[in-house]
Structure 1
Amino acid sequence: MSFHLDVILTMAASVVAAMVTAPARAEVSELELATLYAAAVQPRWQPPADAQQRYIDLTRQMLQQAQVTLAEAQYVLVVDRAPAVQVSLLYWTDGGADFRLIGAAPVSTGRIGQFDHFLTPTGVFRHAVDNPDYRALGTRNSKGVRGYGVRGMRVFDLGWQTAQRGWGKGGSGTMRLQMHATDPDLLEPLLGSAQSKGCIRIPASLNRLLDIHGVLDADYLAARAAGERIMGSIPIGDVDTPGRYIVVVDSEATDRPDWAVPIR
């Protein structure tokens, strides 16, 4: 269900060293990506086997409800919006029958109770070229916060979505659902707790991994192959089975799990 951590860490140094001295691989396998994840992504968590399976079950339920079939091997990023958890889990699946955990990292989703803050919607969201990604400019707002992180961070745009308002009388509203890095000094240390206006904040190191290797870029590759022009500086990734779905679930956990702590 997941790659053994000792195998991953043993391979990590050699794989990262090879990346520095050699040209990019034509293809990166799921085991190699797990190795790169363990070497590069910080902070990261290590859910035990039973927790991994729980999220696999929730993902399957969400895919079934959305009538989405994973007909081929690919990566799927799963996010738990439960305030007590706030985790992302990157899985590789052979087409829905078997899921293997590549790695897990804390996130921040919507914090309700404040004006213009939405509860991050659950569902299966396709990362498609219809809503082109773009790059953070690294600019600061009036409070000195770089909301999208440092310059060059990729903003994964999932389009306009219906979500629950977290202020006033509540009810449904429309928000732009994005997944992005955040201010490395002020907000990244808060990952693992609900802090956003509804978007999904992820570690900058995870942002880079997904971006550089094209982990969720199946639709972007298909568009390029069809001769479509891709706006922005979106690299051609090197994973051999790119995915296209971000699945947001709610485990409804009320207690912080023991494994929700950084590992080194």
Structure 2
Amino acid sequence: MPSATGPGPWQEQGWVARVQAAVARAGLVLDRPQLLVSVDRSPGVQALAILLARPDGPWDVLGGSYVSTGQANRRGYYITPTGVFLHTDAILDWRAEGTFNENHIRGLGLKGMRVWDFGWVQASKGWRADKELGEIRFLLHATDPDYLEQRLGRPASKGCVRIPAAMNRFLDRHGVLDADQERAAASDGRFRALLLPDREPTPLAGRALVVVDSSETF
């Protein structure tokens, strides 16, 4: 697992408590031990942690990586929303084509990188002082490996969560957020085509992305 050892912000006291509080506020019921993907959008943290959440036991941090979330004070850029976002089979994910934009940037990373789609959500417009809300398509995805991945660890996105290629591959290969997708793949060819043929799905697969902000009181 990426960054499974060594110090990181995901190992700081309070991370698990913040995620547990967000899960409780959302009313998400955990009926079995499962993996959650959590993100701290605080500008001073900008990190992701994979948690093993147990309904009646302690929660463990299994590993993590740095990320980039929404950047403030830049027109067209939204602040990544906090809360619990469910990855369900109501929306079909896709994979990056690896093409360059007008700035010679591969915005979703290399060809074949997984893009997890959480649908349309409300997010604050980071360029407005009144934090007016607008809709964004909320995604979890890789980023350009040559120019942007080295900048992970600071706010930089338009509202989505950017992750390193190594974390993208880990989540994808082991189906960390694919509880619904694995079930759907049994009867729906679209999901079978999406999921890796050589994947090694974990029996602890979950469906929740939890975004918190340690710079705010919880």
- Which of 144, 159, 162 is equivalent to 1:201? 162
Do structure 1's residue 60 and structure 2's residue 20 form an aligned pair?
yes
Alignment of 1:94-109 (within 5 A): 94-95=54-55, 97-109=57-69
Q: Does 1:252 align with 2:212?
A: no
Q: Paired residues, what number?
A: 212
C-alpha distance after superposition, 1:2-46 (max 9, x if no partner): xxxxxxxxxxxxxxxxxxxxxxxxxxxxxxxxxxx1xxx269862
| Match of residue 188 from structure 2 | 228
**In the aligned structure 2, how far is the partner of 1:50 from the partner of 1:238?**
25
Q: Does 1:171 align with 2:132?
A: yes
Over alpha carbons, which structure has the higher Rg?
1
Q: Are the aligned partners of 1:46 and 1:103 in contact in 2 as well (CA < 8 Å)?
A: no
The aligned runs of 1:38-57 (5 Å cut-off) are: 41=2, 46-47=7-8, 51=12, 53-57=13-17
Give the superposition deviation at 1:49: 8.7
Counterpart of 1:241 (choices 204, 213, 218) is 204
Q: Which has the higher helix share?
A: 1
Unaligned runs of 5+ in 2: none
* Distance in 1, Cα, partners of 2:215 & 2:66: 16
Residue of structure 1 equivalent to 2:178: 217
Counterpart in the other structure of 2:146? 185
**2:209 aligned partner, one-letter code:** I
Which structure has the highest strand share of the two? 2
Tell me by how many angstroms 1:228 deviates: 3.2
Q: Secondary structure at the match of 2:101?
A: coil
- Distance in 1 separating the partners of 2:47 and 2:27: 24
Mapped pair 1:116 → 2:79: no
Contact 1:71–1:96 (CA<8 Å) still a contact in 2?
no
Percent identity over paired residues: 39
Structure 1 residue 182 displacement after superposition: 0.2
TM-score, with normalisation over the residues of structure 1?
0.75
1:77 aligns with 2:41: no
Change (3 A) 1:45 1:180: farther
Residues 239, 197 of structure 1: alpha-carbon distance in 2 compared, 3 angstrom cutoff = same
Q: Distance in 1 between matches of 2:171 and 2:48?
A: 12
The Cα RMSD (Å) is 2.0
Residues 212-261 of structure 1, C-alpha deviations (whole Å, 9 max, x = no match): 11111001122234x234344213542121111110000007xxxxxxxx
User: What SS does structure 2 have at the residue aligned with 1:230?
Assistant: helix
